[in-house]
Structure 1
Amino acid sequence: MSMRIKLGAAFMAAALAGAAFAQAPATQPARIRGEIVSHDGETLKVHRRSGDTVSIDVKPAAKVSAVKAIQLSDIKPGTFVGTAATTGTDGKLTATEVVVFPESARGTGEGHYAWDLGPKSTMTNANVDSVVQSTNGRDLTLSYKGGSNVVTVPPNVPVVTFTPAAQSDLTPGKKVFVVATPASQGTYVAQRVVVEKEGVAPPM
């Protein structure tokens, strides 16, 4: 694996994990999901799923990456993954997406915590202890420092891993996931950007 891919994967792991933890509302990173309206110089305008359009300052040093689709069967015991999931009325977790981290990113953001993809959404970054075929897909037994849980991954859920991208990939119409710091007058400063590439949109 090239150093470029390792670095891209490492920052993506941090994007998923580090963004979930904030010390104070004033410094809490924002997770912005939407579609690129324009990219002019260092200004990226994104139409968010919530319906508004925001301006994001993307410095040359900002990390940009993409994801590529892989198969659910690629998830094996010993893999380190991050999975967003919803909690059912029975307390069971059902995945809405799974990101497979390379070995170089193992342990980043390890744990189970709230996520903002929807009501009762969580994120688990953990080691896969076992994979069992079930009637609803595959059941992943995940372990992390301080706990463990079982997440069911339905066959139609996006499963991705990381691939390099550049600011030249930030073109109008592309889907993006941005971790950014709120700035003045409703603008943001990008820490990390995950952009759609080759038809694969960031599912996180």
Structure 2
Amino acid sequence: MTVPFLSITRVLNDSVLKCNIPEPKGNLMQDCWDLHGQDERFFPFWLEEWPSAFGLYDFISQKGLKWELALEIGCGAGVLGQLLHKHPGKVVHTDIVLEACVFARQQIKASNPVLAMDFTRCCLRKNFDLVLGTDLFYEDRLVHGVCEFLQDNLTAKGKAFIADPVRKHRMESTQKILQENKLLHIKPIEWNYKLDGKNRNMIIWQFQKAKKH
């Protein structure tokens, strides 16, 4: 399946950024979902533009985060990967939807792998010092899935940053699940940024493994 792309320009605070996003024409979204038997896990959210990628990129840039090898879960169309193209660190980008991975592979620099992976059902051989993700907490099962994945795949001193827009209907449930987790130290970071002149706010959840007593 060929997914056409649209080149866009966005102004993040005072910086002009360019990237490619899917251009879902006609019945493309329905066709992509039908490929997976309308399984809700594979709904093609990746065909939509998600501003949180710009917010997390702003956080990474402002904080001056550095790494040798990082992992992104739920990369979608690869917007964050495109924005990070000048960063010297390597990033392994992953998504559950194969079509999203194919699209992202065409947009992200060749030195960064793009893999089809369901983070809720796997454990990698290698642990990571840095894990990134955006817009993942729209269902309880994904909040649990992220926690379980990070418990298994973060290094002892590693950190994960999962950026999520402030969804009022989700916040109470998300907070409850995260507060009940005793294997991870989890801290919410409020982050404000301006995209195309519009003020936006989000929560960036910072995860670390809890220290053993």
By the TM > 0.5 criterion, same fold? no
| RCO higher in structure (CA 8 A, sep ≥6) | 1
Larger relative helix fraction? 2
TM-score (norm 1): 0.26
Larger relative strand fraction? 1
